[in-house]
Structure 1
Amino acid sequence: MAGTFAVDGAPGRSYHPGMSRAFVKEDDADHGDDGLPERPVSPHPNLVTREGLAAIEAELARLDEALAAARDAEDTMAIPALARDQRYWQQRRASAMPVAPSDDNETAQFGSTVTILREDGRRQTYRIVGEDEADPNKGTVSHVSPLAQAVLGRHVGDEFTIGSQDAEILAIA
């Protein structure tokens, strides 16, 4: 006998290497044994704004409902992807580090809205937020993005280089 191995470290569940998948509990699909690669999780601290934490909670609620509906419908194609996404967002919620907004508008920091003027004349305004809530098209950038890294800790009037252009901080809110 080849032996048994714990499935995902869960006590009471084991898997024999030569055993058919038919003998593995159905809920194993919820624990990463669905053949899909896991969504990569950033190695950076998971800083989030209040809105970012609320968005994580909303996504988890949506996924809970979608996963329940897929199970009810026995949608074997949707269940693995939904379970994988649910695991990702559960990890992100567990590692979330909410950062309260600061009253300091003198220094660019997490949660700040920073307006810059690029040397080509473009004026841009971005809010520095968590990785999962960043969307440059909507005016938010991740705190680990090159732009955020270039302005964090700086003040109005400071000049910096982003990419191949120089820029100046015009305002911090």
Structure 2
Amino acid sequence: MSVAFRREGDDEHLEPKFEHPIPVGPNLVTARGLQLIKDRVAELQSKVAGLTDDEVALKIAKRDLRYWNTRQSTAEQPPVPSGTTVEFGTRVTFLLNGKEKTLSLVGDDEADPASALVSFSAPISRALMGLEPGDYGDFSGKEDAIEILSVEAVPPT
């Protein structure tokens, strides 16, 4: 019989499960972000301990736990920002092409754009970094597309 028609098992037809990619660069976290990571690790440890029958679910949970353990062990909490310039851990209100927006600059794992929490590595964050109220910045190929209205340090929680 030809090897092309031989079937080893159902596992060879499953989607491959890859490790979660780790974002490039430092793993900066806010106090809130670090607590979210710790909570996720604890949740996944409990899940792994409780899984015995479902081999696929156990593999997925262990993969997720490896990711979150790595994120926890590499987490760096920078000093609380002064709130005078846009930096990691600040909330900034600015005009972008004439429209007012407010964003908080947080770590990669804490980012939630729908809640105005943007990763410090996002293009808009990089464009805002280092600016102070009254400053103008370039964004998306446009000069002075950003005007900083206010900056405040986000209190640790």
Common fold: TM-score over 0.5: yes
Q: Is the 8 A contact 1:49 1:100 kept in 2?
A: no
Q: What is the DSSP-based 3-state SS (H/G/I as helix, E as strand, rest coil) of the residue aligned with 1:133?
A: coil
Structure 2: runs of 5 or more not aligned = 1-15, 153-157
Equivalent residue number for residue 149 of structure 2: 170
Q: Is the 8 A contact 1:50 1:100 kept in 2?
A: no
TM-score (ref. length: structure 2): 0.81
1:67 and 2:51 correspond = no
Distance 1:153 1:167 in 2: 13
Q: C-alpha deviations, 1:54-89, integer Å up to 9, x for none?
A: 000000011111111222xx1112001100000000
Question: Given the alignment, which residue of 87, 97, 100 partners 2:79?
Answer: 100
Q: C-alpha deviations, 1:72-113, integer Å up to 9, x for none?
A: xx11120011000000000001100012322x2211111010
Equivalent residue number for residue 91 of structure 1: 70
1:111 and 2:89 correspond = yes
Q: What is the DSSP-based 3-state SS (H/G/I as helix, E as strand, rest coil) of the residue aligned with 1:84?
A: helix
Superposed counterparts of 1:9-158, under 5 Å: 36-71=17-52, 74-102=53-81, 104-119=82-97, 121-158=98-135
Aligned Cα root-mean-square deviation (Å): 1.3
TM-score (ref. length: structure 1): 0.74
Give the letter aligned to residue 141 of structure 1: V
The alignment of Structure 1 onto Structure 2 pairs a total of residues equal to 135
Q: Which has the higher contact order (CA 8 A, sep 6+)?
A: 2
